[in-house]
Amino acid sequence: MKYGVFSDVHGNYVALKAVLDFYKRNGVENFICCGDIVGYGPQPLECAEALRGLKNLITVMGNHDAALVGKMDLKWFNPNAAWAIEFARGKFTGQAMDFLSRLPERIETKDFTVVHGSPRKPLTEYLLSEGQFTDNAGNWTVSPCFIGHSHMPLYFSEGENGIPETDFIKPLVKIFVKGKLMLNPGSVGQPRDGDTRAACGIYDSDKKYFELYRVFYNVETVQKMMEVLKMPGILSERLSFGF
């Protein structure tokens, strides 16, 4: 089965639509989202509603989602991030609020594991080093484990000789699952690896490989919306640079 794997949409509905269109063009009908649906961007409700409407979606809760629903204190966020969470909170009621509130911090199926940050600290750990990958080994079993949170397309694997390996994931390079593998598909709505395009992946659970894609969307359209809403300038400016 082919899964569209994506993360960190962060209220960027223009980018999310481009990614969902990309999946549609490629016949992908099953989806895995690694959390942070809201925060930073101008259309958090539209993103949540679009994901709530997807038939075959598996998604976990991210730290920004947790803050919106009151499961995490805003003191853990910088002032700009906190501003965007409070802005988003004002838009969520009823079914959209229920959807976000009920997201689990971790999902494990027979084919994969999904968390936002890391298996041991799903809401808070930025998994960026081989050492952290090794330290998390006892906290998950089903490989691959899809993660988000750092907004960097990265993989971590056991490597040969038991020495863990990590590298950035380049577009269109197949990453095969051999042993324990963690994959971060990067961010749809706020990439931080210097590429302004939305990042997303496709995982083939039969052939057991993951491929990353970058999808163009109109950054200026999003920035204009953010300007009208008087969102903190840095949140808009960083989309022009992908950082």
To Fe ion, the closest distance from the beta carbon of 7 in angstroms equals 7
Pick out residues in 135-154 that bind Fe ion (CB under 5 A): 149
CA–CA distance, 121 with 164 (Å, rounded to integer) = 20
Going by C-alpha positions, the residue among 226, 215, 149 that lies closest to residue 182 is 149
Tell me if 43 contacts Fe ion by CB under 5 A.
Answer: no
Q: How far apart are the first and last CA of the chain?
A: 33
For Fe ion, the closer of residues 62 and 144 by Cβ is 62
Q: Is 125 in the site for Fe ion (CB under 5 A)?
A: no
Round to whole Å and give the CA distance between 149 and 140: 17
Closer CB to Fe ion, residue 149 or residue 197? 149
Residue from 36, 65, 125, 193 binding Fe ion (CB under 5 A): 36
Size of the site for Fe ion (CB under 5 A): 5
Question: Which CB atom, from 40 or from 217, has the smaller least distance to Fe ion?
Answer: 40
- Please give the backbone phi and psi of residue 20, each rounded to the nearest 5 degrees, phi first: -65, -35
Beta strands 175-176 and 209-215, pairing class: antiparallel
Nearest to 146 by CA among 10, 28, 33: 33
Q: Which residue, 42 or 62, has its beta carbon nearer to Fe ion?
A: 62
For residue 64, the minimal CB distance to Fe ion (Å) is 6
Nearest approach, Cβ of residue 43 and Fe ion (Å): 16
Comparing CA positions, the residue from 14, 10, 19, 33 lying closest to residue 199 is 19
Closer residue to Fe ion, CB minimum distance, 156 or 177:
156
Q: Which residue is nearest to Fe ion (CB)?
A: 36
Q: 136-153 burial, b if ≥16 CB within 10 A, otherwise e?
A: beeebeebbbbbbbbbbb
Is residue 242 near Fe ion by the rule CB under 5 A?
A: no
Minimum CB distance to Fe ion, residue 27 (Å): 28
| Rounded (10°) angle between helices 219-228 and 233-241 | 170
Closer by beta carbon to Fe ion, 147 or else 177: 147
x-marked contacts with Fe ion along 7-26 as a string, rule CB under 5 A:
-x------------------
Is residue 63 at the binding interface for Fe ion, with CB under 5 A as the rule?
A: yes
Distance, CA of 33 to CA of 36 (rounded, Å): 9
Least spacing, CB of residue 29 vs Fe ion, in Å:
25
Q: Which residues bind Fe ion (CB under 5 A)?
A: 8, 36, 62-63, 149
